[in-house]
Structure 1
Amino acid sequence: MSSPKALAATEAATLPAAPLDNPRPPEVRPSAARRRLLLVTGLAGAGRSTALKCLEDHGFEAVDNLPLDLLPHLVSGVSAAGEAPQPSKIGSLAIGIDSRTRDFTAEGLAILLQNMKSDPALDVRLLFLDSDDETLRRRFTETRRRHPMAPDRPVSDGIAQERRLMFPLQQVADLVIDTSDRTIGDFKALLATELGLEGKAELAITVISFSYRLGLPREADLVFDVRFLDNPHYDPALRPLTGEDEQVGNMVEEDPAYGGFFAGMTGLLWPLLPGFEREGKSYLTIAIGCTGGRHRSVHVARRLAQWLEGKGRPVILRHRDLDRSVPPTGSAGAGAPQSGRG
């Protein structure tokens, strides 16, 4: 299943149009003689500062809020002017630009991007950071900051206005990352993987457990529903426990449907992994969901991560909703069972 936050790369509207049936050529890896220039933009609160700090940790020189009229002058100083670049002296540059940048316009930045991509001495990419509205509102509320585009109005007004302003850049970005529901560590790991900062060609796999009541993970590439398995929620002794506890795991695996399902899931996944790598995909997120995100999905996600590690595949395991409350369903009274939790 394609993630709604799949990392999208599309051609700029200002570039010469290619025939619709002509597929986009494969991405060219930067050569040693080309300097990497990464423009980092997106919505306020989506993680631009975190991204720049991560890039600094990986050897980039980072500049934030550079006025657009200074960008060509800075870039001209890093490209090879009249002489062949020396690979050993070529560094990488990350520039943060957003709606607060002086003289900022999305159209102006798109034109500058097009001009810089025509420079053979540069490997230029535009990174766009996004997040859902609720996450952005929460981040501004937690930090007690005013939105830069709505200093005297509700944060939601500023988010909506900025989203409209930045939409043209999201459409032409080489890489779009949605930071909703990501920890800083997860975000940095994904950024490093997608930009090839670790020098690893192997597919990076994340397995997530989640609650259907709290929504599908936006980053999920593949989703498996385990709500058909016996639910430990209905066992009073197991209800307070989680899928990380042995007793819960035993009950889940004693379900007659479990063995065939797990064998079928792993049998489906295993041949897909090399195929994804051949197509240039560097990050795969597999989501396992149940009703409450505490019992069945947690155990199955753990077992899948262990199985992949046993096959020599590095895995990040996340339990998204393990410690989150699940809203009640329907209008059942206090004495009625809460159907399907776990």
Structure 2
Amino acid sequence: MRIQLITGISGSGKSVALRAFEDAGYDCVDNLPVSLIEQLVETMEGERCQRIAIAIDARRGASISELPALLKKLRHQHQVDVLFLNADTNTLVQRFSETRRRHPLSHPNQSSTLIDAIEKERELLAPLSNEAQQIDTGHIPAHTLRHWIADQLKERPIGLALIFESFAFKGGVPSEADIVFDVRCLPNPHYEVALRDQNGLDQAVADYLCQFPEVSQMLTDIESHIQKWLPHYLKDGRSYLTVAIGCTGGQHRSVYLVHQLQQFFSK
């Protein structure tokens, strides 16, 4: 089994790295105590897992000292790699300031500063840096780190999942939507009595909408927009992109367009 350990200074990108391994098909565990690593490996091996990635930080400083011996033991039976992420102190301070998160070694009731916590963490993790491949992320954007890891694994993340969903504006815009198209300007089958109780998947509704040039134009424009910008979303490191199409009731126009888009992009 291949075991990838991810460690380093808080704020240097461990979460980004762990997601990159997850996208590459690894089973991932975050902030696992060193004392539980061997037990996890045995469990995953019993389940015939081939690849796991484990993120470790300095919150349990005492157990970190046990890790070099554990690595030596695990390497007798498994392929074990260690990735150590680092960044200069000024960059880390800026990142914590931007995210407004507390450093894991900072304590509200103590007078130590953020810089004190960072330097304490460096001291605790120093023995691991000698066991690891080191990366300075001080000037590396998150998506660059993610793709660098994918390159090192000689595999790419499993593409981008393109998700289409219809919704009714009267119920609000879906919170998970990345792109929203408002198609309430198109002719509404609701006002055709024979179509009122049908939906956008019914042939009669499709035939009704197809007769209007603006419906075809709207569909073509949405397809073109997605095709144009999809490579940029991929470059940004997205694993999925949710496109929401909304009409008044979420029954006719939006359902029809979502169905057409799903067919178009499935090709």
Q: What range describes the TM-score normalised by the shorter chain of this pair?
A: 0.5 to 0.7
Instruction: Name the counterpart of 1:133.
Output: 89
Matched, 1:96 2:55: yes
How much has 1:195 moved relative to structure 2? 3.1
Map residues 27-176 of structure 1 onto 2, 5 A cutoff. Answer: 35-79=1-45, 90-100=49-59, 102=60, 104-119=62-77, 122-151=78-107, 152=110, 153-173=112-132, 175-176=133-134
Letter of the 1:69 partner, please give it. Answer: S
Distance 2:80 2:21 in 1: 15
- The list of structure 1 runs, each at least 4 consecutive aligned residues, that deviate by more than 4 angstroms after superposition, is none
How much has 1:159 moved relative to structure 2? 0.8
How much has 1:192 moved relative to structure 2? 1.4
Instruction: Name the counterpart of 2:144.
Output: 186
Distance 1:95 1:56 in 2: 10
How much has 1:138 moved relative to structure 2? 0.5
- For structure 2, the 5+ residue unaligned runs are 158-234, 236-267
CA contact (8 A) 2:11 2:92 kept: yes
Q: Structure 1, residues 163-221: CA drift from partner, whole Å, max 9, x if none?
A: 11111100111x2111111111111111112233349xxxxxxxxxxxxxxxxxxxxxx
How much has 1:68 moved relative to structure 2? 1.8
CA contact (8 A) 2:32 2:54 kept: yes
Task: Check 1:197–1:109 CA distance in 2 against 1; reply closer, same or farther (3 A cut).
Answer: farther
Map residues 1-342 of structure 1 onto 2, 5 A cutoff. Answer: 35-79=1-45, 90-100=49-59, 102=60, 104-119=62-77, 122-151=78-107, 152=110, 153-173=112-132, 175-198=133-156
Q: Structure 1, residues 260-286: CA drift from partner, whole Å, max 9, x if none?
A: xxxxxxxxxxxxxxxxxxxxxxxxxxx
- Matched residue SS, 1:181: coil
Distance 2:126 2:34 in 1: 18
Give the number of the structure whose alpha-carbon radius of gyration is greater: 2
Distance 1:72 1:91 in 2: 15
Letter of the 2:120 partner, please give it. Answer: Q
Query: Percent sequence identity over matched residues?
Result: 37
The TM-score normalised by the length of structure 2 is 0.54
- For structure 1, the 5+ residue unaligned runs are 1-34, 200-315, 317-342
Q: Structure 1, residues 58-98: CA drift from partner, whole Å, max 9, x if none?
A: 10110011122211111122347xxxx9xxx5431001111
- Matched residue SS, 2:58: coil
Superposition RMSD in Å: 2.2
